[in-house]
Structure 1
Amino acid sequence: MTGSLPADVADVLELVLDGDDPVHVALRRQVPHLGVRTRCTCGCGTAFFTLDADAVEPAPTGPGTVVAVEAQLVTEAGEWPGEVLVFTQGGYLSWLEVCSWSDDIEVTLSAARRWLRSRC
């Protein structure tokens, strides 16, 4: 989607912002203007964005902080170890969060990327 984002972040955004949903369409338009401000230090892959809001229109998500995308993760073995959430603030991409529901399966952005690709 963009050359300015790390490949893992760009790939996961592409996978979860698919389809014709008006929110997803508007958020995809924001991706070329995104940068990563910081990433979580625990290794999960959560990324917090910077965005040139003057360059794009907000998505129709409403004011405040909103979970604009929720993608549950399913392993090859059929286990449900976590999810990927995409947050917006005021209609602009704000951060991508990798959540773990399991103590037995390590959930990272790299693993999420693999599991999301296997759904396609």
Structure 2
Amino acid sequence: MPEHLPPDVAGVLDVLLGGDDPVHLALRAQLPHLRVRERCTCGCGTAHFDLDTAAVRPAPSGPRTVVAAEALIRTEDGDCPGEVLAFARGGYLSWLEVCSWSDGTEVTLAMALRTLRRRDVP
């Protein structure tokens, strides 16, 4: 896990981009060169990245913006109040988004990480 990323961002990316998928492998190789440019001010954990694209190869995800990885966020009682998505633009990690589907439950990267650690992510 890259030490220069905040622990919540690094932890979620580490698990979300796990596995042997060629796109995920290429995106994981970008993590040491990734920096958080800005974070959402609401506390959800959404993060936009800067990346030294000269130092890494693009992932084979195509030239457009794509959802490179995603996972549902679940509470302890099984409710699903949102999801977390990793976006790549032109093959480079661009941002990590936390989406809430409910006004009643605060969804954060910490909640996403707890969910991801409870199950395997393909």
- Cα deviations by residue, 1:76-116 (Å, 9 ceiling, x for unpaired): 21111110000011000000000011122110111111222
* Greater Cα shift, 4-13 or 69-78: 69-78
* Alpha-carbon distance between aligned partners in 1 of 2:70 and 2:108, rounded to the nearest angstrom: 15
CA root-mean-square deviation: 0.9
Q: Which residue of 2 aligns with 1:111?
A: 111
- Cα deviations by residue, 1:49-101 (Å, 9 ceiling, x for unpaired): 01010111000110121111111112221111110000011000000000011
* Alpha-carbon distance between aligned partners in 2 of 1:10 and 1:87, rounded to the nearest angstrom: 15
Q: Which residue of 1 aligns with 2:27?
A: 27
**Number of residue equivalences:** 120
Q: Following superposition, which runs of at least 4 residues in structure 1 exceed 4 angstroms of deviation?
A: none
TM-score by length of 2: 0.94
Contact 2:45/2:98 (<8 A) preserved: yes
Q: Secondary structure at the match of 1:14?
A: helix
Q: Which residue of 2 aligns with 1:92?
A: 92
TM-score by length of 1: 0.96
The one-letter code sitting in structure 2 at the alignment partner of 1:51 is L
Which structure 1 residue ranges, 5 or more long, are not aligned? none
The one-letter code sitting in structure 1 at the alignment partner of 2:55 is A
The one-letter code sitting in structure 1 at the alignment partner of 2:107 is V
Where do 1:1-120 residues align within 5 Å?
1-120=1-120
Q: Secondary structure at the match of 1:37?
A: strand
* Alpha-carbon distance between aligned partners in 1 of 2:8 and 2:119, rounded to the nearest angstrom: 17
* Alpha-carbon distance between aligned partners in 2 of 1:102 and 1:116, rounded to the nearest angstrom: 19
Which structure 2 residue ranges, 5 or more long, are not aligned? none
